[in-house]
Every structure is written in structure tokens, then in C-alpha cells.
Amino acid sequence: MKEPARILVVGGGYVGMYTALSLQRRLKQGEAEVLVLDPEPYMTYQPFLPEAAAGSISPRHVVVPLRRVLKKCQVVIGEVTALDHAARTATVKTLATEEEGTGPVEIRYDELVLAPGSVSRTLPVPGLADFGIGFKTVEEAIGLRNHVLEQLDIASSTRDPAIRDAALTFVFVGGGYAGVEALAELEDMARYAARYYHNIGPEDMKWILVEATGRILPEVGEEMGRYAVRELRGRNIDVRLDTRLDSCEQRVAVLSDGSRFPTRTLVWTAGVKPHPILAAAGLPLNGRGRLKCTAALRVDGVEGAWSAGDAAAVPDLTSDDPEALCAPNAQHAVRQAKTLADNLLASLRGEEVKDYRHAYAGSVASLGLHKGVAHVYGRKLKGYPAWFMHRAYHLSRVPTFNRKARVLAEWCLAGLFKREIVSLGSLEHPRAEFELAAGTGRHPEAS
């Protein structure tokens, strides 16, 4: 009897989860087994991170538990440290291998889906590694929310004007989706929270957006990008275009235009780069470090290896430019995952594969509660209609009916009741209180 093929899916994000979900629905009994490998036991729906940071959505509703959704797949929590595709083996480090002290284990596979996504792209800016805050995971989003509310508490209780000024200065670097939406949502939240402080008003806070190019939100088009700048500046947000962050040592943000801002909050959202495992995989890469793929989502010239999403350079067959590649965004990733699963099944069954082809529908972006911009199917929207479209689109795209219902319920409740403005910063150091009680002498911040 023929052994079932083993399909190893590296990454549990958009591509990894949706590919595995499609495979488990359509694989015949004994045809293949699917193993999903990811460092986290959940998939994060990243477009909802700004709303989670603002308190509009609970953190647990921004993530989708892999084991619950992928019931017919084997889910392994760990990360690939090396790949030998010629031998069809992956070297994997898991929580158990660390506890056992035995070193990484090898996992054999027949078909590889390499979809580890991307990681934050940082630059050698002095002080960035020490004081920068990322915004790519749900932990970072909730940590940033707690941090911002904590700064209001510091500013309210200090008598030192320099400390107060630094606490109320918030610098965001990067004018893409992540930076603009995170800043807009958090500024909205902080403006609301200020009403509960006797000595802080919205006018006391400085919100600064730093973008190295001459426009923000390039995905929504030039006209809507200019509108977004006007909208943000109308809320007294300092938008600095054609400006870079030169350094942030000693908690002072120094910009390329000569400005200096003492700040306790510097959020870095200036782009992403391919996951480091791609460089170690020994598979063909393009100049930007992404896997060279065919339109059928096969790694170019390599049998048994597939990829899509952020990790893959996939030809855009809908473009007139023969060199054009699909943008590394969620819209393409979700659709590519379905085609990838179709083609992988077709390959296993000796059938013909098909090319991925999808015309980009457009983009939507939130600028805070009831505010947004959109450029969809050639139509341009702004204000409330764009914000509503943003919510409707992402509600339709978040995986599983369970998550859709929970998110919708939270939005409805948020419309009836006031915002939650509590900081739970102690969650980041859960043992601190016990260590103090136990007399270890450790300070909460040191735990």
C-alpha cells in the first residue's frame, strides 16, 4: 500500500493557514498528511491590530487558533532552523527540544509549502534597537496600547516638565498601512482618554508621523493619500514627509530635517523584509530576498516546493508589465493560498496545474473611529463611508464564522458603551508582584 504523501507547511499565517485549511477539506482518506509548523499556535489577522491597540477589539479575537481550525492537520509549535530540500528534510527547533536539551529534530516531507511571511525591516539607526517599538504582532499591539496609557499616567503625576513633555510625545516612523492606522487609532484613543485626566488635554499631546517618501498610504492612490495627510494634520498630528529618523539615542528622536523630539514612545513601522529562513533554504531568490516563483506558485525550477504571500515573488499576470510581481499583501496572500492548494492537489494526482491570476481590487485604510480612506475598483471614498467599507471588508475576510461573530459583537457593544481606557501593563511582568512578596528583592521592571 502506498504511503500517504507528507506535506510540510512552514508558517501559520495567511498562506499557511488557508492552504492547510483548503487541503484538509479536499484531501481523500490516506492521500496525504499535512503538518503545519509555526512558532505561535495561532494565525494573527494583522489588519485588526490597530483596532486591538485602540481597544475596539479584544486581543484574543484578532487571532485564530490553528489547532481549532486545522483539526485534520498536525500542528507543531516550533521553527525551522535549516532546510535540505534535496533530501526533503527540515531541521526544526520546538519547545520540547529546548526542554530536553537534545537539539533540533529532523522532519521528513514530500511536498514543501514555504510561507513563513515577513519580519520587521529595521535600519542601523542609533538607539532604535534600544528604544524602538514594533507593530507586527498582537503582543506588540497590546503592549503599545498599555504603554501609551501608561505615558498619560506618568505625564499626569509628574512635576518635571521635561518628563511630562517626553511622555506626551509619540513618534511613529513609516507612512504605510501599519504606521498610519496605528497612529490614527491610538491618537483617537488617547484623545478620548485625556478627558479622564484633570491636567491633560488633547492639545498637550504631540503625535508625529515620519515618512521618508513624499506621500503616505501609496496603496490608496495619490489623491486619497493627500486627503489622509490633510485629515491627520487637521487633528493636529504633525506629518513630516521626505523626512527620515537619524537617531533616537537617549530617548531623543532626531529627524533628518534637524528636529529633535524627546520622547518615550518611538514606534517603528518602516516596512518588512523576507523571513531569514528563506536565505538559509538554498532555494532560488530574487534581488529582494523573496523566493522566485512561477505563476503556478511553484518555486521556480524546484520540484516539490511551493510558496506564496510575502515570501514569494509571484508574476502578476494581470499587469501589462511582464516584469511585474504581485504585491506582498493580504489580498493576494489569501487568494494565492487557494490556488496553491488546488495546484498542490493537482500535482499529487497527476493533473494539470493552473496559473494564479487576480486583478488588484484596491485598498481601504482606517484613520480612527468613523474616519478612513478607500480606493476600490476605481472608486474613491473618504470619511465615514470609507471607514465603514474598511470594517465590512475586513469582517468578511477574517477567518471563521466564530471570529466574525465575536468581532461584530464587540463593535456593536462599543457603539453602546464607552471605550475601555485601562492599561494592563503588569501583564508583561506577571511574576513581579509575587517575587516582591517572596522577598527576592527584584523590582517589577527587572522581571
Q: Residues 399-436: pLDDT tens digits?
A: 889 999 999 999 998 888 877 777 776 566 777 777 77
The residue type of 341 is: A
| pLDDT over 60 at 282, yes or no | yes
pTM: 0.88
C-alpha cell at 144: 503599545
User: In the structure, what pLDDT confidence band is assigned to residue 17 with cuts at 50, 70 and 90?
Assistant: very high
> What is the per-residue pLDDT for 273?
86
Number of other CB atoms surrounding residue 25 within 10 Å = 9
| pLDDT over 70 at 341, yes or no | yes
The residue type of 261 is: F
User: In the structure, what pLDDT confidence band is assigned to residue 134 with cuts at 50, 70 and 90?
Assistant: very high
- Do 117 and 275 meet the contact criterion of CB atoms below 8 Å apart? yes
Quick one: CA torsion of 426, 429, 432, 433, rounded to 10 degrees?
30
C-alpha cell at 213: 517618501
| pLDDT over 60 at 315, yes or no | yes
> What is the per-residue pLDDT for 363?
85
How many residues appear in the chain?
447
Q: Residues 295-306: pLDDT tens digits?
A: 999 999 999 999
User: In the structure, what pLDDT confidence band is assigned to residue 241 with cuts at 50, 70 and 90?
Assistant: very high
Query: Which residues are CB-neighbours of 108 under 8 A, at least 6 positions away?
Result: 6, 88, 89
Helix, strand, or coil here: 113? Answer: strand
| pLDDT over 50 at 447, yes or no | no
